[in-house]
Chain A
Amino acid sequence: MFVLVVGGGKVGYYLTRELSESGHEVVLMEKDRGRADQIADEIGSIVVAKDGCEGSALADAGANRADVVAAVTGDDEDNLVICQMAKHHFAVPKTIARVNNPKNEPLFKHLGVDELISPTRMILGSIEQDIPVHELLHLAPLSHEFELVEAQLTAESPAVGRTLLQLELPAGCSVVAIVRDEVAQAVGPDTIFRAGDKVIATGRPECEPALHGTLIGALPGA
């Protein structure tokens, strides 16, 4: 496959290197001559020191026979124009744009860019999914005084190796279910808690430190 990468920053550099090492034909376009020369010294003469936003430069780099054009510069407007020129002027089958402002995604899609890669969105998604270990995760308030929480057990958690009856749950708290290996299941009298289990429990907010202690272990500093 012939891939044309535009933008010789960190992303473009590693992308070009990986593609080249896995046997693809790659050309990297980088408009800064100093940076282009530096990359060429490291990965060989597959670097074109021209601006990938210029139609004539794209033509020189072989855009008309590229299977994929990946626009990975740090500027959204440049990545959009590179992909549009590739698509409409050189009929490239697949265009990929790096998008920094997640709000640009609908516009880029609408304007015909085939694939969007948004580092901002990926990191956002990762932060939102991130479960702080050793903390009770609040899943939902059930009423003003009652909360549904999740406790992730680790090897050090006091609940591990015990059944529900062996736990001394704080008054007013109850265990609803566990999620083990991504599967939710009811907690029976024989169920023994294991490290990695996510225990779903309910309780009043003021019982949370005690619940935390019983399931996960004492809070730091407590």
Chain B
Amino acid sequence: MKVVIIGCGRVGGLLAAWLDASGHDVIIMDLLTRSFDRLPATFGGEAVRGDGTDEDALRRAGADGADIFLALTEGDNRNIMAAQLAREALGIGKVYAKVNDPMRAQAYAELGIGTVCRSTMIADALLGAMGLPEGSEPSVRPGAEHDHAPIGAAATAGHGED
């Protein structure tokens, strides 16, 4: 599976290392080269310095044709924008954005972006550890499977659509 990860922080770096170790094809992007220090020396994927909210940078990094796109930077809005760019411009089928504001997480899940909300996830984990019932908000929401043509392709591939 080809996986693109934006943001080589604690979560992104860990996930990139695990996915690489289990044989997946991993590309990880970050604005700062030193973030890649988090990756283990054995990391065999691609670590590319660049802006994951920039379409040209994503293409240069080789994000085209990825199976899964994970936007895991520290900014909710950067993640949302990167995920939508991956979905709409690059046509990547499965995209997830880390969105820590629960309301935004819900709103974007409704728009088809998979969201992971750290706030509800940690709260639920702690409630569980205390033996209390978890909150009603899910911390991971699957996005809709992507089934339309990328931007730009729409103009030429519009036959038979209504």
Contact = CB atoms under 8 A, between A and B. Distances in A.
Interface of A: 53-56, 75-78, 80-81, 84-85, 88-89, 101, 103, 106-107, 110-111
A84 B107 CA distance: 9
Centre residue among B55, B75, B84, B151 by max chain A CB count within 10 A: B84
B74 interface: no
B104 interface: yes
A88 B110 contact: yes
B15 interface: no
17 contacts: A54-B101, A55-B101, A76-B53, A77-B75, A77-B78, A77-B80, A78-B77, A80-B84, A81-B80, A89-B103, A89-B107, A103-B54, A106-B89, A106-B151, A107-B55, A107-B89, A110-B151
Contacts of B151: 106-107, 110
Contacts of B110: 88
Nearest to B101: A54
A96 to B, nearest CB: 17
B101 A77 contact: no
Contact of B77 (A55, A81, A89, A111): A81
Interface in B142-162: 151-152
A81 B81 contact: yes
Contacts of A88: 107, 110-111
B144 to A, nearest CB: 14
Nearest to B56: A103
A81 B101 CA distance: 12
Nearest to B107: A89
Contacts of A107: 55, 84-85, 88-89, 151
B84 A111 contact: yes
A178 to B, nearest CB: 40
Nearest to A75: B77
Nearest to B55: A103
Given A75-B77, A76-B81, A111-B84, A85 B53 contact: no
Contacts of B89: 106-107
Interface in B42-81: 53-56, 75-78, 80-81
A78 B111 CA distance: 17
Given A88-B110, A88-B111, A77 B77 contact: yes
